[in-house]
Copies of this chain bind each other. A is one copy, B any other.
Amino acid sequence: MPNAYIVGAGQTPFGAFPSESYRTLFTEAFEAAVASVDGSLNAEDIDEAVVGTLGVGGRQLGLSAPAVTEHVGLHNIPCSRIENACAAGGFAVRQAVQAIESGMADVVLAGGVEVMTDMSGDTTKYWLGVSGETEWERLTGTTFSGVYAQMADAYLDQYDATPEDLSRVAVKNHANGAKNPKAHLGFSCSLEDATNAPTVADPLNLYHCCPTSDGAAAVLLASGDVVSEYTDERVRVAGVGAASERVGLADRDSYTGISASQEAGKTAYEMAGIEPDDLDFAEVHDCFAIAELLAYEDLGFCAPGEAATLLREGVTDPDGDLPVNTSGGLKSKGHPIGATGTGQMVEAFDQLTGSAGDRQLDDPTYGLTHNVGGSGGATVVHILEQEVAR
């Protein structure tokens, strides 16, 4: 049984902070994570650090982990950077869990950071593009909106779903994000707004695409042996799953599901010993609206083709049976690549410890986080459990 607990989690606001550096943002997130521990945890207590970042923009591309960890006073410990495109942060958490489960560390920092808005839009597009499949996507000029548009096209064609359902994802997530002071686009929008927005890559319009964000988020994990030294909270990493998939869309068996998400979810549920029905909330990777619909199906929230129904019926609304993206998701909260997966953990930790403010759910026990790299080339899923009745 997994033995890793989350004892603290914090983040910067996500947004456009072009004058901030990866070090200043990382420091702010680190300090927020330390402050969130209800006991006392210091830099000296940390045995190992893992940093998720794509390193957008050609700044510190090598040794970027020690470059940020030295800046928050972590010295002489194992530090490494993990990269899996937009899933870098989620994989950093997984690696932190492995470090603890292996017995090599008792307290581990998993952080994520990205600065993206200090470049022109074209440059940002280039840096995001380097996570795409090279020969048939990137070099033919297909950006990620184009790749996800193909998935949306296939989905709308195959199932009883409409472009309006894509807009419903935006409406729900913006309504949630409007209650999140850390959200990049923290405003609500109407179904009309979200339907009549300019096209980005048909059928995806502007409201069906997440923003380009800056930000950092940090998670502190501890082994079961030491967790009580730091906190009375018992937020356990009950399940972990990860998988890969062909990087290029054209090489896959299906455009209407991501096998890496299916496999990662399956592994995580098995490890946690629960079913999708047991979940009280989920943070899923909605880089584009279609991605949230696929996630519902890939993670077993509903059968294939039924995601739009789930959404229309309000099941994934905050007052539904399975609230999804109470944080606002990538759509409204924002998507600072390397910080996105650790940012999902911040929301899950806050929900499970009763610290989610206006977004607080009613005593949740199980929460799931789902972080996707590229268009599904790598996915990581975590299931968190609040062990203490609150």
Contacts and interface: CB of A to CB of B under 8 A. Distances in A.
Interface of A: 49, 54-55, 58-67, 69-70, 74-85, 91, 94-95, 97-104, 127-128, 130-134, 240, 242-247, 251, 259-260, 263, 373-374, 377-378, 380
Given A102-B98, A247-B70, A378-B66, A130 B76 contact: no
B259 A76 contact: yes
A70 B244 contact: yes
A248 to B, nearest CB: 9
Contacts of A127: 61
Q: Taking each of A77, A240, A378, which has the highest tally of chain B beta carbons within 10 Å of its own beta carbon? A: A378
Nearest to A271: B104
Contacts of A78: 94, 242-244, 378, 380
Contact of A101 (B77, B95, B104): B104
B247 A61 contact: no
Nearest to A61: B130
A63 B80 contact: no
A54 B80 CA distance: 12
Given A64-B83, A79-B378, A98-B98, 10 more contacts: A62-B85, A62-B131, A66-B373, A67-B134, A69-B244, A77-B244, A78-B243, A81-B82, A82-B83, A104-B240
A83 B81 contact: yes
Contacts of A130: 58-62
Contacts of A49: 244
Contacts of A80: 82-84, 91, 95, 242, 378
Given A78-B243, A104-B240, A244-B78, A131 B61 contact: yes
A134 B57 CA distance: 14
A98 B80 CA distance: 13
Contact of A63 (B70, B94, B247, B259): B247
A100 B234 CA distance: 26
A134 B374 CA distance: 28
Q: Taking each of A63, A98, A102, which has the highest tally of chain B beta carbons within 10 Å of its own beta carbon? A: A63
A67 B104 contact: no
User: 8 closest A-B pairs (Cβ-Cβ)?
Assistant: A62-B131, A101-B102, A78-B242, A62-B85, A61-B130, A98-B102, A66-B244, A79-B244
Contacts of A259: 76
A162 to B, nearest CB: 31
A63 B374 contact: yes
A59 B133 CA distance: 11
Nearest to A374: B63
Contacts of A263: 76
A222 B97 CA distance: 19
